[in-house]
Chains A and B, each alone.
Chain A
Amino acid sequence: MPGVALPDDGLVVVLKQDCPTCRLVAPVLPGLGATVVSQDDPAFPPGVEVLDDTALDTSLALEIDVVPTLLRREGGRETARTEGWDRARWREIAGVADLGADLVDWKPGCGSRTHDPAVAEEVLVRTRGHELAARRVELAGLEDEAEALFDRGWTDGLPVVAPTPPRVLRMLAGTTRAPDEVVAVVPPNLVPATVEKVAINAVLAGCRPEYLPVVLAAVEAACDTEFNAHGLLATTWGAAPAVLVHGPVARRIGVNAGGNALGQGTRANSTIGRALQLVIRNVGGGRPGEVDRATLGQPGKVGLCFAEDEQGSPWEPLSVSRGVPAGASAVTVFAAEGVRGVVDQISRTPESLARTIAGALRGVAHPKLAGGFDATLVLSPEHLAVFADAGWDRARFTAALDELLLLAPEELARGADGIEEGMPSPRRARPKFRPGGLLVAVAGGGAGKFSAVIGGWVGGPGGSSPVTRVIEE
Chain B
Amino acid sequence: MITTVLDPTDESRPASRTVGPRPGDLAGRTVGLLDIAKPRGDVFLDRLATLVAERGATVRRYAKPTFTKPMPADLRAEIAAECDVVIEALAD
Contact = CB atoms under 8 A, between A and B. Distances in A.
Interface of A: 132, 134-142, 145, 149, 154, 162-165, 168, 189, 191, 196-197, 200-201, 204, 278, 282-285
Given A135-B15, A142-B70, A165 B4 contact: yes
Given A135-B15, A137-B15, A164 B3 contact: yes
A6 B50 CA distance: 72
B9 interface: yes
B5 to A, nearest CB: 5
B64 to A, nearest CB: 15
A138 B16 CA distance: 9
Nearest first, the 7 closest Cβ-Cβ pairs linking A and B are A135-B7, A134-B6, A191-B10, A282-B8, A139-B3, A200-B8, A282-B9
Interface of B: 1-12, 15, 70
Name the residue in B1, B4, B6, B70 with the highest tally of chain A Cβ atoms < 10 Å from its Cβ.
B6
Contacts of B12: 189, 285
A200 B10 contact: no
A204 B4 contact: no
B8 A139 contact: no
A136 B70 contact: no
Contacts of A141: 1-2
A278 B4 contact: no
B4 A197 contact: no
Contacts of B8: 134, 154, 163, 197, 200-201, 204, 278, 282-283
Contact of B3 (A162, A168, A196): A162
Given A163-B5, A164-B5, A165-B4, 4 more contacts: A132-B6, A137-B15, A162-B3, A164-B6
15 contacts: A136-B4, A137-B4, A137-B7, A137-B15, A139-B2, A139-B4, A142-B70, A149-B5, A164-B3, A189-B10, A200-B6, A200-B7, A204-B8, A283-B8, A284-B10
Contact of B5 (A137, A189, A191, A196): A137
Contacts of A200: 6-8
A367 to B, nearest CB: 42
Nearest to B9: A282
B6 A136 contact: yes
Contacts of B2: 138-141
A292 to B, nearest CB: 16
Nearest to B10: A191
A137 B15 CA distance: 6
Contacts of B11: 134-135
A138 B70 CA distance: 19
B71 to A, nearest CB: 12
A412 B77 CA distance: 57
Contacts of B15: 135, 137
A195 to B, nearest CB: 13
